[in-house]
Amino acid sequence: MTNRLADRFKALKVRGRTALIPFITAGDPEPRITVPLMHALAEAGADIIELGVPFSDPMADGPVIQKASERALAHHMSLAGVLAMVREFRSEDPHTPVVLMGYLNPVEAMGYDRFAAGAHEAGVDGVLTVDLPPEEGQELVTALRSRGIDPVFLLAPTSDAERIRRIVQLAGGFVYYVSLRGVTGAANFDLTEVAQKLRLIRAQTHLPVGVGFGISSPDAAAKVAGVADAVIVGSALVGRIAALASQPDRIATEAAAFVAQLRAAMDGATASASGSTSGVRA
């Protein structure tokens, strides 16, 4: 079985490029725009797409992504609906990896095996369940892996070496380092601290390490691109989508323009900084 995530990271490494992973909430502000938006993001330079599964009680998210969930749920967006969107996207784009990010309860309601089978059939490549730490995750990880889907896990500033070891043993695809203490979209982070932590993580795993939570501008994305394997941008993009909620037909164009800006800033940074960051990456 080919693995789109592994292939994508391998190809990026060859080209010396850092992955750009935009996050959008499925069905925000209305379901019909999501699939065209995914295509537009991929065209604008997104290497992987992270698709948020709306949940009524998004405990780990800041106000921007909470509101995105609420807008999507107002249109009765469901996990089954999200899988249908991925299937539709996949029919035209067989290459761009798609990672679902959400909370455990909708997955529990569907059933782990049914979800894993449906996700595989739709063309999902990875699943990140925000409120599922490794201690509780074995059963879902087994169900996902049996269908060739990578279980993506979070690492946090509060994760010590022992927890990092435990998490990377279970994780697949890449690991997602939460670059600050707080919820999604919170204030800015400390790049030195992030770089230090990434060194600790890389000592324990060969999996690519993505960094997200609080990366809001092309400038910040460029800085993180110098130290990480992937840059994840969520709230800053979702905030732009929210501002266009009353003109949904403009969303794909504007979101793509923002992603292109992030891409350009990151590529400039990785090209010029590849020498100076080699110590960090080692």
Closer CB to another protein, residue 98 or residue 155?
155
Q: Which is nearer to another protein, 5 or 164 (CB)?
A: 164
Residues 6 or more apart whose Cβ sits within 8 Å of residue 203: none
Q: Which of 29, 52, 106, 118 binds another protein (CB under 8 A)?
A: 106
Half-sphere exposure of 18 (CA within 13 A, CB side): 32
Q: Return the range that interacts with another protein (CB under 8 A); candidates 2-10, 174-182, 251-259, 265-273.
A: 174-182
Q: Write each residue from 183 to 202 as x if it is in contact with another protein (CB under 8 A), else as -, in one continuous string.
A: x--x----------------
Measured at the CA of 14, the angle between CA 152 and CA 218, to 5 degrees, comes to 65
Q: How far is CA 122 from CA 131, 216, 263, in A?
A: 23, 30, 27
Question: In this chain, which of 66, 96, 235, 270 binds another protein, going by CB under 8 A?
Answer: 66
Q: Is the peptide bond before 29 cis (omega within 30 degrees of 0)?
A: yes
Rounded to the nearest 10°, the torsion over CA 241, 245, 247, 250 is 10
Is residue 125 part of the annotated active site? The answer reads no
Q: Of these, 30, 31, 43, 70, which contacts another protein (CB under 8 A)?
A: 70
Q: How far apart are CA 277 and CA 282, in angstroms?
A: 9
**Residue 73 in the binding site for another protein (CB under 8 A):** yes
Q: How far apart are CA 267 and CA 168, in angstroms?
A: 28
Q: How far is the CB of 269 from another protein (least distance, A)?
A: 27
Q: Which stretch binds another protein (CB under 8 A): 8-16, 84-92, 149-157, 273-281?
A: 149-157
Q: Residue 279 in 3-state DSSP?
A: helix
61 is catalytic: yes
224: part of which helix (H) or strand (E)? helix 218-225
Stretch that binds another protein, among 11-19, 21-29, 44-52, 158-166 (CB under 8 A): 158-166
167 lines the binding site for another protein (CB under 8 A)? yes
Residues annotated as part of the active site: 50, 61
Binding site for another protein (CB under 8 A): 55-63, 66-67, 70, 73, 78-80, 103-110, 130-133, 135-136, 153-160, 163, 167, 178, 181-183, 186
